[in-house]
Structures are given as C-alpha cells and as structure tokens.
Structure 1
Amino acid sequence: EETGSATSQQTILQHGERSKAVLVLEPSGPGGAVKTSRKGCSRFELTVTGVSAHAGIEPDRGASAVHELARQIVSLESLQDVESGVTINVGRVDGGTRPNVVAEKAQAMVDVRVRTVADANRIERAFAALTTEDPRTQLQVNGGFRPPLERNAAVRRLYEVAKQVASDLGRDLPEFSTGGGSDGNLTSARGIPTLDGLGAVGEGAHALHEQIDILALPWRAAMLAGVITRLVED
C-alpha cells in the first residue's frame, strides 16, 4: 500500500466491486475524524541520458544529463498550484560520476499530489509532454497516479451513517481531508462507496513518536461494528 499497491490493486477492486461499501481502517484524522477526502498521489521518475565527455578537454563534445535534468525540474514549478491543492516536490536527485566528467545519466524522483481527477489527468498529460531542451539528450518519464478520494455523494452518505452510529455511542465524529493516499482512493475512484480513517486514533504517522490512543480502541471498534450492522440491515 505504501508503494502504490501494484500487486494487490486488482484483488482490492475485485472484492470492492462485490461489496456494498468499503470501510478503510487507516488511522483517524485529528480528534478521531474519519477521512472523507484524500489527495491523489503519484511518484514520477525522470531519467535523462546525455553524452559523456572530459569536462576540461572536450566539454563541447558532451551533453550534460545533469544540466538537462535541472532545466526539467525548473519547468515543473509551473505545474504547482498550492491554492488548488496541486503540489509538486522533487524529493530525490541523482546524477553524474565525477566532477571532471560531463554527466551521461541523471534521475529525479517527483512526488505529486492533487485533489481532483481532473487535475490528475492534467498533470499526467503535462509529464507525458515533457521534451528536452538539448536535442543531444533523451528524457524518459515513468509513473502514474493513484486517483484522489473525492468527497462525493456516496462518501457523504457513508459519513452520515458513521456519524449517527458515533452519536448513539455518545461521541462526536468530525470529518477530515488529508494529503496522504490509501487503498480507499482506488475503490472510491471506481465508484464504490468508501469511507476512510475508521481505524485507531493517534498521532505522529511515519514518525518516531507514532502512537495510538489505547483508551479509544473500544469505542472505535463499537462504531465500526455499528456501521457494518447498519449497512447490512439497510
């Protein structure tokens, strides 16, 4: 799941399509909130192949993959729109061998997050259309999106069911939107009613201080059981 569910995606969707709803036991949001929307996410890999040469003796015979990759990275800035939820982060860059050698290879790993399917499609088209400025270099782009979980009518209906069950247990149940993805993104995008964040209450995801609230486990389990019962009886 952390790397995109490449080997489990089809199994998840097959089971999801036979189900009335998908309940995802990812950790809750702040205050025990369930997650009614998630950003779509992608990791694109840009690989540039250039022409190696001695940087001091024959620099004109070389075509630097590092320089070309730097130009590509700068061009990606135009795709970012934080206000509308589109974020682009070049998180890792590798390239070259030695300072006196014009680099033949360079790579970048790019994390992209979007709120809507329309933005995911737009960004995918933009990455596919990237071209090199130096004609002596070649660019290869790999990657694609795990679609966003949008707060649609089916998600809202499931949230109202869970909210009522929580109320019957004497609990408030807020909702939350997050920038992280889960397998719930896959099922929601396929049109299967999906509610996420029904798992443990805690904080510090992926950090050294990651923790759960043990005292909240009983009511979270009771809420989950109540939601399942309501869906079966409906």
Structure 2
Amino acid sequence: MFDFGCECDFDELREFILCNSYSKNKKGIDQHGEQMISQLLPLNYQVERFSREDIGNHLLFTSNKRDGLKILLLGHLDTVYPPGTFTSFTQDEEWVYGPGVCDMKGGNFVALNALRNLYHELPSGVYNIDFLLVSDEETGSDDSRELTARIATQYDYCLVFEAAGKNHEVVTGRKGIATYQVEITGKAAHAGNHYIDGIDANLALSQLLIKLKALTRLDKGTTVNPGKIQGGLGANTISPTAQMLVEARFSDQEEKHRVMSSIHNLCGLIEKSGVSVSLSGGLQRDVMEPNVRQQALITALNQILPTDIVTEQRGGVSDANIVAGAGTVTLDGWGPFGDGDHTVHERASKQSFLRRIREVTDILRFLISDSAQQSLKPE
C-alpha cells in the first residue's frame, strides 16, 4: 500500500455531509455553499454567487491570475437525498459513510484539501486555479448547463471531482444523453359501435416504440430506451392520446447525429397513420470523447505522479460532458473511490481520500508551474 503522505480531517467532512443539500432543498444547498465559502476565502479566493430563486445558488471561486495555463475545478453541491431520509454520517477504520461522501461532497473535499496544500506551499498563494460548484447536477444541470459551458471556455484544463473508479480510474469519456417527450394525438371513438371511426393513439405509439428501440446499436455503445409510456381512456374507447418518455445514449458524435435525426424522422413518418405527433426535448449532455490533447495531458501527468493514471469510459453522464463539449480538455473522476452512491449504503474509502488529495495537489502544482507552460503548450 502506498504512503500518500497527507492527512485530511474527516470530522470536517462530517459537517459537510450533515448539511442536507438535496437538489430541491435550496436552503440546505445554500448553507452548504456557505460552508465551502468559509473554507475557501481564507485561501485568498474570491467568490461570485449566481443567485437563484428556486434552487441553490451556483458558486464560482476565483484565484489571482498571471500568464500561464488556466485550470478549472468542477463539482456540485447537491445530493439526491431529501431531508428526513438518509442524513447520517459514520466512519470506521477504512470507510466513511453518508449522503454525498463519494457523490460528490467527498470529491469537493479532495479539491478543497489540495488547494489548502498549495496555499501553504506557495508564498503568493494559489493562482490560475478556479473552482466552480453548481447546485443542480443531480437533476440534469438544466439551470447551470449554460453557465458551466460559458465559464469553461475561459480555461485550458478542467478536473471534475466525481468519484474515482475501483482502481482509481480517471474518466476520459462519457456517453452523451438526449431525452424526449412524445405526445401522440389520435381520435376517440366507441370501441364497439364506431371502431373504424377512431384513430388509435396507442397503436401509433406502440409502432413508434418498436422503431425507436430498433435504433439501439450495442456494438456502438448506443441505446434508445422508451422508458415510460401511457395512454388511452378505457377498454371500450379507441385511445385519443398516448405519451412516451424516451432516453437515448451514445458514445460518439456520429451516433449522436444518427439517433437524434432518426427520432425526428420516425415521428414524422408515424404521422402518416393519421395521428399528430408532438416531440419535445433533445440533447441534455453532449458526448465526452477521448482526444489527443487529453492524452497529452495524461502523458505529462504520468511523469510527475507516483503511479500512472488508469483511465476508463463510463455510460453515465456528469458535468464533465458539458465542459468537454465547450472545448476544454477535461478529466473526470478525481474524487475518492466509493460505492453505494444514490443509496443509503453510500461510502468512500479513507485511503482513497489520502491518495486523491496527494495526486491532485501534485497535479495542480505541476499545471501552474513553468515546466507545464512549455510541455503542454498547444502546437
């Protein structure tokens, strides 16, 4: 086992965990945001609040700037547990347990401790490293998506603090995701007396469902899932309306364009049966694909870390998709390893916290160094 040569205060993490920050609990999220503010202001950070009425405020912590690479750290304040559900924090010799210990208050805690390490090392304090914390990632980042993409364009590199893989894998790729609501309108009629006068919305929806499902290509990493359907009034009535909620996931841009255009085309074709179709929704998060500049960063980091970075691609999405889609070189999975996230069994490895804090400290120290300016300078 490696000696990662650093410590962290899990009692401080406990205070973060016990502050409920369920995505719809604005008061709790803002309280947790103030906890982060109180820890980052002493590190010579400035905070910009993006105030919201119905959800928690988004926070951007900015450092002093000088010439050189600009680094963005990215996390989210919200968790999936409403007040009164999973609200405890416990620990034993190996693990910490509680809502958000790995997704992703634990990841934010890694970033915070790495910044503290740098602050104590550098006489002038931390510079060129900013930290964005959004409040709605767990509900799809509908409000913060545009803000994150706009901010991301100001940076050369981004580290995202979702949980690490089991072997401390770093995430280089994530599937993109699109969601659609399909509304089909037919014509009601008595199923016994006027059967032929009706236009069956349920039948049209079922035909469309089969065609949408056929867009799946597992060999390409593409899935299309009509996850929820409903329709009709009763057994004696030709269905006048039907609805379907559809999710599509894809691993590259070619598949994204094929699937999204096909969904629109199929909805148009099904209208020829006499129904009308309303299609709403679209791209939620773009594809995060591995790329040459990302690999160049990994190669450079392997020169300064005690162990080489192990990488993986994931089917799930995160705000890393948004930043990568904005053109910023992005690596995700810099939080601690844990499991049971989104369940009452969520936990994170104490040893993993120590490893990640040391690694992220080394990485950030390198990225703001003069040697990084030369070795990572775009050609």
Pairwise same-fold verdict (TM > 0.5) = yes
Indicate the residue corresponding to 1:69 in structure 2: 205
1:53-73 Cα distance to aligned partner (Å, 9 max, x none): 222221222111111000001
Contact persistence 2:213–2:226 (CA under 8 A) = no
Give the deviation of 1:47 after TM superposition.
1.4
- Cα distance in 2 for partners of 1:135, 1:63 equals 8
Q: After superposition, what is the alpha-carbon deviation per residue over 1:104-161, rounded to whole angstroms, capped at 9, x for unaligned? A: 1111111211110121111111111122155321112222222111010122123334
1:189 aligns with 2:322: no
Normalising by structure 1, we get a TM-score of 0.91
SS at match of 2:334: coil
For residues 75 and 144 of structure 1, what CA distance do their matches in structure 2 show? 18
Cα root mean square deviation, aligned? 1.8
- Tell me whether 67-76 or 25-34 shows the greater mean CA deviation: 25-34
Aligned to 1:137: 275
Shift in Å, 1:18:
1.1
Tell me how far apart the structure 2 counterparts of residues 74 and 52 of structure 1 sit (CA, whole Å). 23
Pair 1:127–1:228, CA change in 2 (3 A): same
Q: Is the 8 A contact 1:51 1:136 kept in 2?
A: no
1:152-191 per-residue CA deviation (whole Å, 9 max, x = no partner) reads: 0122123334444442xxx453111100111111121222
- What is the aligned partner in structure 2 of residue 102 from structure 1? 238
Question: What does 1:6-17 correspond to in 2, within 5 Å?
Answer: 6-17=142-153
TM-score, reference length from structure 2: 0.58
Structure 1 match to 2:292 = 153
Relative distance call for 1:182 and 1:229 in structure 2 (3 A) is: same
Pair 1:85-2:224 in alignment: no
Q: Secondary structure at the match of 1:31?
A: coil
153-162 or 194-203, larger mean C-alpha shift? 153-162
Amino acid of the structure 2 residue aligned with 1:203? D
Query: In 2 relative to 1, CA 53–208 (structure 1 residues): closer, same or farther, beyond 3 Å?
Result: farther
CA distance, structure 2, for counterparts of residue 77 and residue 121 of structure 1: 16
Does 1 or 2 have the higher relative contact order (CA < 8 Å, sep 6+)? 1
Instruction: In structure 2, give the amino acid aligned to 1:228.
Output: L
Which residue identity is paired with 1:40? Answer: G
Q: Deviations over 1:89-110 (max 9, x none)?
A: 1111111122222211111111
Q: 1:151-230 to 2 correspondence within 5 Å? A: 151-167=290-306, 171-230=307-366
**More deviation, 151-160/83-92:** 151-160
Cα distance between partner residues in 2 of 1:186 and 1:161: 24
The question of whether the paired residues in 2 share the 8 Å contact of 1:95 and 1:103 is answered with: yes
> Aligned pair count?
231
> What is the CA distance between 1:35 and its match in structure 2?
0.3
CA–CA distance in 2 between the matches of 1:58 and 1:108? 26
- Give the aligned residue type for 1:205: D
What percentage of aligned pairs have identical amino acids? Answer: 29
Secondary structure at the aligned position of 2:293 is classed as helix
The secondary structure found in structure 1 opposite 2:260 is helix
